[in-house]
Amino acid sequence: MDTVSDVFPRVVFRGSFRSYQQEILDEAEGYLKDGHLHIVAAPGSGKTVLGLELIRRAGKRTLILSPTVTVKEQWGERFAELFLPEGESTADYVGGELGCSAPICSITYQALHAASRPDESGKPLWAKAIKEMGIGTVCLDEAHHLQNEWQRSLEALLDTLGESVTVIALTATPPYDGTPGEWERYLRVCGPIDAEIFVPELVKKKTLCPHQDYIYFSYPSADERTMLERYAEHADRALTRLKAEALVPAAVQAVGLDGAAEEKEKLWEYADELVALLSLAAAFGMEVPRETVKLFLPSGRLPVCREETAERALSFLIVRGDLFGSALSARVRQILSEEGLLSGETLSLSADPALQRKMLSSLGKLESIAHIAEAEIAACGRGLRMLILTDHIRGNLLSVVNSSRPLSAMGAVPIFEAVRRICPYETRLALLTGSLVIVPNAALGDLLQLAEERGIVCSFEELNDSRYVTLSPAGGSRESVALLTEALERGVLHILVGTKALLGEGWDSPCINTLVLASFVGSFMSS
């Protein structure tokens, strides 16, 4: 039986590396002096190919960890496509289960975490398999997924493997927007960032298409505006009551800001909160001495009291009865609570958590998405290849399809229906999610032909007399994604509506010329 040292020399990349990939490979030896190689590369830059070449050069038994089964399987697919020696089997090189005999073992972070339960001896279930495999390289794909339980399992694994193991970390989106503690843990596992491949470079090299990013501002519905206005009235009334009872100036006095200088110095720990309190007091008409402001701000000038300033000041006031006096804090809390501005210990002067959630999924977004689709249909015609992604399926609202009922929630099904209502039937619209697929009757023949070519058995059912059907490929969501993606690329379909789970799972379709992100979650990692 071949050893790992015998296997890797037979593996050769059958292609040409892009210039930016080659630059990283040329510097890899230097990067790896600390045992880590951490690469940040934009989507479409060829991270998987780069990772496989680094694994090949390391020449040691490798464990690859990925966030999803789709990404996990892509490693084997890319290896077979670009590295597999002629006439040999992928299974001899890439395995998919912990403890496999192949030189490369590709599993998910979830699988590692599931195998972290203790065995009878108290050791993780993976301990014996890892020892027998003799892992020398660990490759972390989409390394920004390393959070909480997954990261603890991985840290335990790396501690067991010791300093001799090489860690290759690949990601398009480091957790720049995480807390300092999360960032520190991330770097502790992945090492400092060694190389970055940026979007402009990919566009310049014609690896990524030139593109423009737009933000489309949506307006709340009439009902939502009424709710916001009502909440604003309660906030205004609360501030008016606080001002009438002179509670904020009383808090400034109670905290000792008019006392001796040495007593004031003890308050520096709360500088930001007290500056907010002084700003609110000034907005209420209190004259704040410049010398008092200079205790916290060298300029002696208070910032303008905005909504978030007032929230910070009042939030501090109601939780620090030890500083302001319990009676004063309790009275402020009572007023804010009576006006419905408190949710537990959280104060909001613009919208409570329930209203904020409602605005995140504002029905105004449905109208905006329909307008965007209408404009793109007019501009691109049958050349349109549009993808609309949102957070939830809302399969329970399937009955709204082909109805005149008002759309009452955001999600893939309501978006599909909103676009269907304005979309000419000649523009072929489909919905693609893990549990629900809807396609137009006009495309059904072509789709069934594609399915037959792929060896996929499909069943379908009429949907609400709508000239659309629900499609059910026998292979489940994996086959659905493959089938509808090819249909989009061939022009059998023009618009796909789905959930954001489609992205970040290795889905790739270069034909897309319009992407609408109707997601509620905004962060560096998800964008």
pLDDT tens digits for the chain (527 residues)? 466 767 888 899 999 999 999 999 999 999 999 999 999 988 778 899 999 999 999 999 999 999 878 788 889 999 999 999 988 999 999 999 988 989 999 998 888 888 888 877 888 888 888 888 999 999 999 877 665 667 888 888 999 999 889 999 999 888 887 777 778 888 989 999 999 988 888 888 877 777 788 888 888 888 888 999 999 999 999 999 999 999 999 999 998 775 544 555 567 778 889 999 999 999 999 999 888 888 888 888 999 999 999 999 999 999 999 989 999 999 999 999 999 999 888 899 988 777 877 787 788 899 999 999 999 999 999 999 999 999 889 999 999 999 989 888 889 999 999 999 999 999 999 999 988 999 999 999 999 999 999 898 999 999 988 899 999 988 777 888 889 999 999 999 999 999 877 765 556 677 899 999 887 544 333 33
- Give CA–CA dist 137/154, Å, rounded: 13
Q: At 3, which amino acid appears?
A: T
Comparing CA positions, the residue from 467, 462, 364 lying closest to residue 414 is 364
User: Which residues is 429 bridged to in the sheet?
Assistant: 495
Alpha-carbon distances, residue 281 vs 200, 217, 269, 277, 309 (angstroms): 49, 35, 20, 6, 11
Bridging pattern class, strands 514-518 and 386-390: parallel
Q: At 120, which amino acid appears?
A: E
Q: Break the chain into its structural domains and give their ranges.
A: 4-204, 222-358, 362-518
Q: Measured between alpha carbons, how far apart are the two ends of the chain, in Å?
A: 46
- The phi and psi torsions of 417 (rounded to 5 degrees) equal -70, -40
Identify the CATH assignment for 362-518 out of 3.40.50, 3.30.70, 1.20.120, 3.30.1490. Answer: 3.40.50
Structure tokens at 218: 């949506």
In words, the CATH class of domain 4-204 is alpha beta
Comparing CA positions, the residue from 513, 515, 493, 487 lying closest to residue 502 is 515
Structure tokens at 125: 């279930």
Q: At 320, which amino acid appears?
A: R
Domain 4-204 identical in fold to domain 362-518: yes
**Residue 305, number of CB atoms within 10 A of its CB:** 18
- Give CA–CA dist 174/329, Å, rounded: 41
pTM of the prediction? 0.58
